Amino acid sequence: MNLFIIFLLLDYWSLNAISATNTEVAIIRRDLNFTGMVNYDGFLSETHTVRTKDGYILTLYRVSSPNCSALRDSEPIMFMHGLFLSGDDCITPGPSGSHCYEYASACLDVWVPNARGTVYSRSHISLNPDTDSEYWNFSFDEMAQYDMPAVIDYVINATNKNQITYIGHAQAVATLLNLCAAKPEYNAKIKVGFGLSPTAWLYNCRFSVIQIDGALSTVLTGLIEAGLNAEFLPRGGVYQPFVKLLCGTTDLSYPACSDLLFAVLGNDSYQITEDTMKVLTGHLPGGTSLKNFNRWGQIYKNGFTKYDHGSVKNLLEYGTLTPPVFDLSNVTMKWIFITSYGDYVSNVTDVDTLIANVSNATKCIVSDKTFGHLDYLFGKDVPTMITPMITTYVDTGKFECL
Ligand SMILES: *[C@@H]1O[C@H](CO)[C@@H](O)[C@H](O)[C@H]1NC(C)=O
Ligand SMILES: *[C@@H]1O[C@H](CO)[C@@H](O)[C@H](O)[C@H]1NC(C)=O
Ligand SMILES: *[C@@H]1O[C@H](CO)[C@@H](O)[C@H](O)[C@H]1NC(C)=O
Ligand SMILES: *[C@@H]1O[C@H](CO)[C@@H](O)[C@H](O)[C@H]1NC(C)=O
Ligand SMILES: *[C@@H]1O[C@H](CO)[C@@H](O)[C@H](O)[C@H]1NC(C)=O
Ligand SMILES: *[C@@H]1O[C@H](CO)[C@@H](O)[C@H](O)[C@H]1NC(C)=O
Ligand SMILES: *[C@@H]1O[C@H](CO)[C@@H](O)[C@H](O)[C@H]1NC(C)=O
Ligand SMILES: *[C@@H]1O[C@H](CO)[C@@H](O)[C@H](O)[C@H]1NC(C)=O
Ligand SMILES: *[C@@H]1O[C@H](CO)[C@@H](O)[C@H](O)[C@H]1NC(C)=O
């Protein structure tokens, strides 16, 4: 009997010790930046700087594993984050379970750009993001026109390869589509594009932030056209300490924090674990411009159309009161869109519209019907359900939907 109690106590202590350690690790990783986390996780990183044609200075990270004596001779991987996010997305869940670590552990050459206006790319040759509102005069149209070609050309040149393999989350699909539509020579630079929770048409989006954005977009567009440019949801804003305190410090708040996330983004049956949730609170948001936020409200309202200047200026610019739909007939690169019936942002119906508008695209609906918008990045099943589809394709050239 006594022995049994001692066993119970030992069990209790050891369980506690393990969970305390996990929480400590999560809190340390929560407060580190990209290079700090890579270092802490036992991987290696390089920091590259890319200057765009319009003067924005972007940070491009490269991640590798110390256990690879050489990189494999295959196309470099580019992992591109989505709206409100940053390159942190591909390492946030930690050493076992993050996109970039899975690819680096397979000895692939992994590159991680950060879009203009995010915490790591908040820089310009002449504009100061803190004092020059003109710095924030951009949306994903400029990311497509300037950021994407700059980072793709940089990686192709630096690695001496002809093509990259692209992995883009949400907005990162829209930007590469626009680039390949406007400058078709970029199609040949992409071996294949994996679109995780792709966003283009958003008519069936149920993400409340985008719905509110859509409702505000007429007013916001007017203000922005009148010269209002500003940063939107920066990393380290006044809310960050509260978010860290509420959802990033203890397991007690986990159900409430998860339910809130589920309510807005899709019920994901707790794909994002307690520890990943804590780490996440230090890495969300990534920062963008008010104009880019508003741009997605326009898309929700208008469809996948060019920038909406408001009817008067649209008439001057496009000859119509509403902006024209993007013509994607130049997009010939191969796309594999990974989607889910449970995703409140990227609805399968909208993905079908996108597929019908590009010539070489297929979709994979993941077998877990509750998979949500952020689970493609942070879910506990990423290393069993998502990244194997990509590494298998890299290995064999064949795609199998899991
Ligand atoms: C990341 O954190 C390290 C250590 O705190 C710091 O030296 C470095 O400047 C940071 N990098 C960026 C891009 O903020
Ligand atoms: C490298 O290999 C060692 C020994 O197997 C292992 O302990 C370590 O976690 C590995 N590091 C990475 C980054 O995979
Ligand atoms: C291409 O890479 C080489 C080094 O690999 C570098 O010297 C050169 O400046 C790069 N060119 C461009 C256009 O980035
Ligand atoms: C297609 O590409 C050509 C350049 O090859 C470009 O002139 C044209 O505007 C593009 N079409 C669309 C609809 O973007
Ligand atoms: C924002 O940039 C556009 C060109 O992309 C320009 O027409 C407009 O005047 C700029 N607005 C402000 C407020 O600088
Ligand atoms: C979330 O999913 C679980 C099981 O997958 C289900 O029991 C629950 O009712 C769902 N909740 C919502 C709000 O959809
Ligand atoms: C789609 O792209 C792949 C890879 O570039 C190519 O092998 C295939 O022929 C293309 N299919 C079509 C229908 O264009
Ligand atoms: C996707 O759109 C359809 C049609 O509007 C809707 O019935 C369904 O609930 C949406 N799915 C999600 C997960 O939001
Ligand atoms: C492209 O998308 C539009 C929605 O803007 C849709 O009406 C059209 O049917 C799609 N194109 C094709 C070829 O299906």
For 263, the token pair is: 């309510």
pLDDT reported for residue 218: 94
Q: Has residue 10 got a pLDDT over 80?
A: no
pLDDT at 269: 62
Query: Is residue 327's pLDDT more than 70?
Result: yes
Which residues lie across from 124 on neighbouring strands? 56
How far, in Å, from the CA of 401 to the mean position of ligand 6? Answer: 24
For the residues of 322-350, what is the DSSP string, one character each? SPPBP--TT--S-EEEEE-TT-SSS-HHH
Going from the Cα of 1 to the center of ligand 4, the distance in angstroms, rounded, reads 80
Distance 204 CA to ligand 8 centre (A): 6
Residue 11: band (very low, low, confident or very high) from pLDDT cuts 50, 70, 90: very low
Within a domain: 77? yes
- Which pLDDT score, from 0 to 100, does residue 18 have? 52
pLDDT band at 15 (very low <50, low <70, confident <90, very high): very low
Ligand 4 near 330 CB (within 6 A):
yes
CATH of the domain at 376: 3.40.50.1820
- Residues 267-284 have pLDDT tens digits of 666 899 999 999 999 999
The identity of residue 148, as a single letter, is M
Question: Is residue 402 in some structural domain?
Answer: no
> What is the rounded CA–CA span in Å between residue 338 and residue 362?
9
Is 149 within a domain?
yes
Dist. CA 227 → ligand 5 center (Å) = 8
Q: Which atom of ligand 3 is nearest to the CA of 154?
A: 14
Which ligand is nearest to the Cα of residue 160, counting in written order? 3
- Weakest mean pLDDT among 8-12, 80-84, 168-172, 242-246: 8-12
Residue 345 inside a domain? The answer is yes
* 354-390 pLDDT, tens digit each: 999 999 999 999 999 989 999 999 999 999 999 999 9
Question: So what's the pLDDT on residue 262?
Answer: 72
- Regarding the beta carbon of 399 and ligand 7, being less than 6 Å apart is answered no
Q: What is the pLDDT of residues 89-112, one digit of tens each?
A: 999 999 999 999 999 999 999 999
Check pLDDT > 60 for residue 137.
yes
DSSP state of 186: G
Among 175-179, 257-261, 278-282, whose mean pLDDT is lowest?
A: 257-261
Is residue 304 assigned to a domain?
yes
Mean pLDDT of the chain: 93
Q: Identify the band that residue 219 occupies on the pLDDT scale cut at 50, 70 and 90.
A: very high
Distance 208 CA to ligand 8 centre (A): 13
Q: Which residue is associated with the tokens 């986990």?
A: 254
Asked whether residue 401 is assigned to any structural domain, the reply reads no
Task: Establish how many alpha carbons lie within 13 A of residue 263's alpha carbon, considering only the half-sphere containing its beta carbon.
Answer: 6
Most informative mutation of 51, 155, 157 for ligand 3 (most atoms within 8 A of CB)? 157
Instruction: Give me the domain span that covers residue 34.
Output: 2-396
Tell me which of 56, 127, 135, 137 to substitute to probe ligand 5's pocket, judged by most ligand atoms within 8 Å of the beta carbon: 137
Q: How many domains does the chain have?
A: 1
Based on its alpha-carbon atoms, the radius of gyration of the chain, rounded to whole angstroms, reads 21
Please tell me the distance between residue 157's alpha carbon and the centre of ligand 3 in angstroms: 6
pLDDT of residue 14: 47
- Close Cβ partners of 337 (under 8 Å, ≥ 6 residues apart): 173, 195, 198, 351, 354, 355, 361, 362, 363, 364
User: From CA 162, how far away is CA 147, in angstroms rounded?
Assistant: 19
- Ligand 9 centroid–CA 303 distance in Å is 10
The residue whose CA has the least distance to atom 1 of ligand 5 is 137
Give the ligand 8 atom nearest the CA of 347.
1
What is the arithmetic mean of pLDDT over 80-97?
97
pTM for the predicted model, two decimal places: 0.93
What's the CA-to-centroid distance between 289 and ligand 8, angstroms?
28
Distances 151 to 88, 289, 313, 391 between C-alpha atoms, Å: 17, 20, 32, 22
Please tell me the least confidently modeled range out of 17-21, 33-37, 210-214, 258-262: 17-21
Amino acid 355: pLDDT: 98
Contact 58, 147 (CB under 8 A): yes
Pocket around ligand 2 at a 6 A CB cut-off = 42-43, 65-67, 105
Q: How large is the angle between the packed helices 290-302 and 208-225, nearest 10 degrees?
A: 110
Q: Answer yes or no: is the C-beta of 317 below 6 A from any ligand 5 atom.
A: no
**Residue 255 pLDDT > 50:** yes
Alpha helices (runs of H) in 42-136, residue ranges in sequence order: 99-105
